Amino acid sequence: MYENFVLEELDVAGVRIRVRHGGSGPPVVLLHGHPRTHTTWYAVAPRLVAAGFTVVCPDLRGYGGSAKPLTDAEHSPYSARAMSGDVIGLMELLGHRQFAVVGHDRGMRVAYRTALDHPDRVTRLVVIDGIPTVEALERCDAKFAEAWWHWWFFAQTANPAERVICADPETWYGAWDKNGPDQLGAENHADFLRAIRDPATVHAMLEDYRAGVGIDRRHDEEDRAAGRQITCPALMLWSTRDDMEDLYGDPLAIWRPWCPQITGHGIESTHHIAEQAPAALADALRDFLQDRG
């Protein structure tokens, strides 16, 4: 897995970030979702290297082998803004002032926040399987609540979800069925198991959701009120066997006020697209990232 990539831990402004990187050419950073680690990209990253890119795959703070900072009342250490700062600092350490950013699921929220907060750094943006946080929360109805009830369960602090999940994390996360080694690949699955078995990682991953319904929403509201937009070319991809179109119809219509240059399409896959449809995803990323039109 990740042949010819370097695996290391780097200090990014006092936060230890585990990262794997390799290749040469234009840099692109790939940001994973919940409850994955950077190894979710194991079948995508080498394809992008072969296409002529430098590829950087970190564990988001709180996830996998990266640090788990102490939280606060607003959960701000786990906000998308804090995580986007990690991305900027990490890429600077690796010698990349400007780069493309790709994010899936929770990593999608970090990706678009990076583009909003640091427009001079992000050359191209790819968002996968998600819409802006405030847009999702404002559209929450019975259908969304039924399908994505875990958002609210994870966000609770009075009766924290950690007690339930850590009692049997492998069953909670379907580690031997829907998220088994046949679906994830043996080495990716092993990394996934190490993460979900660690109570500190479970807590930090839930802090990400707590930040999402609070401080992340507020940051989105402030940007929208100020008329801030993502100015670089953007691509949205979604898994056709997930519920993106069922929930939102045309998700591009929701993104356009945020990203005037956005285009996109669905890919035949379930939610964890990097593992289920890596060739199709890598092809879509390559075509978008190589397009200089």
Query: Does any domain span residue 114?
Result: yes
Any domain includes 264: yes
> Which residues span the domain enclosing 160?
6-290
3-state secondary structure of 216: helix
Name the active-site residue from 86, 105, 129, 191. Answer: 105
Q: Which of 75, 96, 271, 272 is catalytic?
A: 271
In a domain, 96, yes or no: yes
SS (H, E, C) 74-134: CCHHHCHHHHHHHHHHHHHHCCCCCEEEEEECHHHHHHHHHHHHCCCCEEEEEEECCCCHH
- How are beta strands 15-23 and 6-12 bridged, if at all? antiparallel
Beta-bridge mates of residue 128:
104, 237
Asked if the structure places residue 271 within a domain, the reply is yes
Q: Per-residue pLDDT tens for 110-158?
A: 999 999 999 999 999 999 999 999 999 999 999 999 999 999 999 999 8
All residues at 6 or more sequence positions from 195 whose CB lies less than 8 Å from its CB, including other chains: 35, 36, 37, 63, 64, 201
What confidence tens digit (pLDDT) does each residue in 43-60 have? 999 999 999 999 999 999
What's the pLDDT score for residue 291?
Answer: 83
User: Does the annotation mark 105 as catalytic?
Assistant: yes
For residues 18 and 5, give the distance between their C-alpha atoms in angstroms, rounded to a whole number: 13
> What predicted TM-score, i.e. pTM, was given to this entire model?
0.98
| pLDDT of residue 162 exceeding 80 | yes
Whether 32 maps to a domain, the answer reads: yes
Is residue 19, in this structure, part of any structural domain at all? yes
The Cβ of residue 97 has, within 10 Å, a number of other Cβ atoms equal to 10
User: Considering its fold, how many domains does the chain have in total?
Assistant: 1
What's the whole-number mean pLDDT along residues 52-78? Answer: 98
- Name the one residue in this structure whose structure tokens are 């179109």: 245
Mean pLDDT, residues 163-181 taken together? 97
Rounded CA-CA distance 30/12 in Å is 17
CATH number, position 202: 3.40.50.1820
Task: Give the pLDDT score at 100.
Answer: 98
Q: What's residue 292's pLDDT?
A: 67
Residue 180 in domain: yes
Whether 1 is covered by a domain: the verdict is no
